[in-house]
Structure 1
């Protein structure tokens, strides 16, 4: 999702086309030599989507030994032979595995607290309070619950995959929802919302040219300021960026619709292929701020 974004988005689009046409798929991974945490959570979430709709979904292992071991640890092959039903919650793997993937619709602070407790113990040897990671979890869950669908609250699943990198003593998080995405959500606010016609207002003020520039304004809190006349107060997507600035998380990357942000390096770009939804990736390492319980 990060190092090979365009090709991965093309892959997702092909899967979504097959799903829409109820066509079975076989995912040929033989020639894959690198698979990232973000791509794994996409693959697992799509597998569940197909299987819960009784559409055949199959695949094979990469020949590359390292890529094969990563995929095996993710639970992908094991769950190829499992039946899934349409549910609110899915868990693939367990916290003792290297990769632990969840799919849910609701905001679940207990789940995020349990994950933080487990990972912080691995990183610092004793459980720690990681309020930056908790902030990210709650904001993303809440956004999916409230904004991922035009019609009903809580209609779309969010998917979270956690990978503990023992060699570098850090945790990698990938979060994705296949909702409408940030910009389509902003474009469709009703007249009762403080963000009604906000893109038009922001465009007139800042003269931005594309969604990459709009994403930067959003993350810097300028859209909230335009809508309310006040600076954001640590919530929403700017609150996630603030957690990065405070060294409470690291390596934040965001993809939504046709825009991508490498927030650490202040790089924003347009994508040739759009994601139907939003993807977030971040890390927690030994040098990030944390607090004893």
Structure 2
């Protein structure tokens, strides 16, 4: 068994996590769990899909995380007329040099904010597939590498709203987590009026880490210890989603990898250098539910993906010492 990261390295992950979390919490009030999940996705080198109705702070959450890190940030406002080349870039002819030059698109940044991603057509949404999975972009036969770290934080309105398109299954599978913000409590809503009443509070945030530091923390998280029994637990959960009677298409092996990576990041954020089953169990609804496709009968019976994951977690035995 290879040695895991040293204790000081894990403590550095927890320290920077706490500093970013404190800053974001000063802007996004009353949603500590949502902020925690977003930062876990960042440190697990995953992508985040924030889904909810307009006006509850989806874009503010993404902006606050981006401003807390000294890195390159690009924002893409997804609209029906947005082209795939606007995201990936294009090759243009330079009349001065008499040569073709590549002009990078919006995806060439450490953090890409995709606002209202499901208001663009499926073809434009699919332009992110290669970038999100392989951290590369291929244009006109040439492959370009993306920066490290690279994270897509996309906001999405419920598909029942006018002018929205459902995300392709392949793209949903590339988001490590889907979170829902929900309406704030009355106390939190009062804090929002006090904090944001005079302007955009996110502009007051100062970076507490650099892109290079985050890249180093991601490398630490990758090497956190996960016991063989815990990996078997992850595999058991993923395979059980494929066998559930309400599920037409269950979770892919990519989902198991995402769940393990998220569990490692969650453990590191708590200053632990090993993963426990509770880490996996707490993250499974956020990592797996958006990847499920339910049967027509299950949808008619108003079965939800979250209830399926709850059933699976109740059935798969938890590993014991």
Could you say which structure has the greater relative contact order, defined with CA pairs below 8 angstroms and 6 or more residues apart? 2
The answer to whether the superposition gives a TM-score over 0.5 is no
Structure number with higher strand proportion: 1
The structure with the largest alpha-carbon Rg is: 2
Structure number with higher helix proportion: 2
Q: What is the TM-score normalised by the length of structure 1?
A: 0.31
